[in-house]
Amino acid sequence: MTFTRSLALVLVSVVAQGCIEPDDVSYGEVASEVSVSTYVRSGCSTAVVLGLSRQIADEVACMNPRALTSFAPGGRLTITSNAVLPYLAPTAKTALERVTANSSIQVNSGFRTVAQQYLLYQWYRQGRCGITAAATPGRSNHQSGRALDVANYSSRITAMRNAGWSHPIPNDPVHFDHTSSPDIRGEDVLAFQRLWNRNNPNDRIDEDGMYGSDTEARLRVAPATGFARGASCNTGFDVGGAKVLSVDGPDRVAPNAHATYSITLQNTGATSWPSTTRVVVADGTASEIYDPASWTSPTEVGPINTAIPAGGTGVIDIEIETPAVTEETPVFAQLALSDGSEQFGTLNVALTVTPNGDHEQSAEAGDQHDDESAHTTGGCNAGGASSGFAALLGPMLFGLVRRRRR
Ligand SMILES: [Zn+2]
């Protein structure tokens, strides 16, 4: 396990594409942090924007406390990647629980923020990550907490339908909608606008919940791990004294292979964490992702090696070895920080082990049709000839080149 400094200075090089504006360095303080646009051309997991996405989810909860509720893996429910933000509309969560009472469900994606949808859409436009189509930011039902992508969909369509989930699109097979839950699309955009204005009082934008060019320009330069000032009410998606701001690592890994997950953590408590702070398996059992080469034991990853001060952030690199499975298998490991006697924060690693190999794929691929209204809200992507053409071609290409999905 190694330890590196927090929030490295990253120079973002941007090539103007379509009508997207090049980065503007006038946004001041955030320019020194890793911005969302850093990931437009690298990586395939939206877990890199978890910190910002959690702030957006928190802000939605501040504005509309009953809009979203969290769900946790366990029992018959598994989560296939670190990018999954485990929130749904309460009625959608209840409908999911009706299914998992009797059937296993592997969740690829639930609630998504505009920051996640922005990256997925940009990756789609570049033909990256196996994403052959994506809803424009602001228009996905995932942004309303009323959609789910299910990895093992093929054997669950009837059970999901019986619980109120529609399976509307033949060529987006992982996607299910729960349209009897409220449509709150736009609230995540409004939440981002409020966060931006709170942190950039000299560069205020309209708080209208509409995804347009002003919002997109700020989203690109927003810090991926979150703003200095977060949600205005503390609803506490913050576990213990450790807040996970991002997880950078692959969603999909071959069996018997090694991978590294760089987890950016914030110490939100009042006590500094010494370098001897240990990362252990939360439930104390031998981990499926135990790496004999780097871990202290099957139940302990090892010390963090460098202190993280109260209020500070740091990056912990966790190396893993995947199990030798022969079928596609989601693996979820809950790790915890420990002072030797007590655990005080959790960090999760979630991935899918892929015997057939899936490099540079996103677990969140798909979803071109989750915008059931096909209505765009203006802004850069609304009327551009190239994006319109791509939107028309998307479903056709999707049928031809769609990757294995089972
Ligand atoms: Zn979906």
Instruction: State the distance from the centre of ligand 1 to the C-alpha of 115, rounded, in angstroms.
Output: 16
Instruction: State the distance from the centre of ligand 1 to the C-alpha of 43, rounded, in angstroms.
Output: 19
pLDDT at 71 over 50: yes
More confident residue, 17 or 358: 358
Query: What is residue 235's predicted lDDT score, i.e. its pLDDT?
Result: 45
Most confident of 85-99, 375-389, 392-406: 85-99
The band of 330, judged by pLDDT with boundaries at 50, 70 and 90, is confident
Q: What's the CA gap between 85 and 108, in Å, rounded?
A: 10
Q: Which amino acid is present at 189? A: V
The band of 234, judged by pLDDT with boundaries at 50, 70 and 90, is low
Query: What is residue 394's predicted lDDT score, i.e. its pLDDT?
Result: 29
Residue 47's closest CA among 399, 350, 357, 371?
Answer: 350
pLDDT at 401 over 60: no
Most confident of 8-17, 64-73, 200-209, 311-320: 200-209
Instruction: State the distance from the centre of ligand 1 to the C-alpha of 244, rounded, in angstroms.
Output: 24
pLDDT digits (tens, 9 = 90+) for 106-146: 999 999 999 999 999 999 999 998 887 788 999 999 999 99
Instruction: State the distance from the centre of ligand 1 to the C-alpha of 75, rounded, in angstroms.
Output: 23
Query: What is residue 333's predicted lDDT score, i.e. its pLDDT?
Result: 86
Distances (CA, A) of 80 to 111, 149, 226: 14, 10, 23
pLDDT digits (tens, 9 = 90+) for 195-215: 999 999 999 999 999 999 999
Instruction: State the distance from the centre of ligand 1 to the C-alpha of 246, rounded, in angstroms.
Output: 22
Residue 314, H or E segment? strand 313-321
Query: What is residue 254's predicted lDDT score, i.e. its pLDDT?
Result: 93
Instruction: State the distance from the centre of ligand 1 to the C-alpha of 175, rounded, in angstroms.
Output: 4
Instruction: State the distance from the centre of ligand 1 to the C-alpha of 141, rounded, in angstroms.
Output: 8
Angle, helices 385-401/114-125, rounded to nearest 10 degrees:
80
Instruction: State the distance from the centre of ligand 1 to the C-alpha of 171, rounded, in angstroms.
Output: 11
pLDDT digits (tens, 9 = 90+) for 313-324: 889 999 999 999
Question: Which protein residues have a CB closer than 5 Å to ligand 1 (ion)?
Answer: 147, 149, 175, 367
Q: What pTM did the predictor assign?
A: 0.71
Per DSSP, what are the bridge partners of residue 74? Answer: 77
Query: What is residue 300's predicted lDDT score, i.e. its pLDDT?
Result: 95
pLDDT at 365 over 50: yes
Q: Which of 18-22, 185-189, 196-200 is predicted with the least confidence, judged by mean pLDDT?
A: 18-22
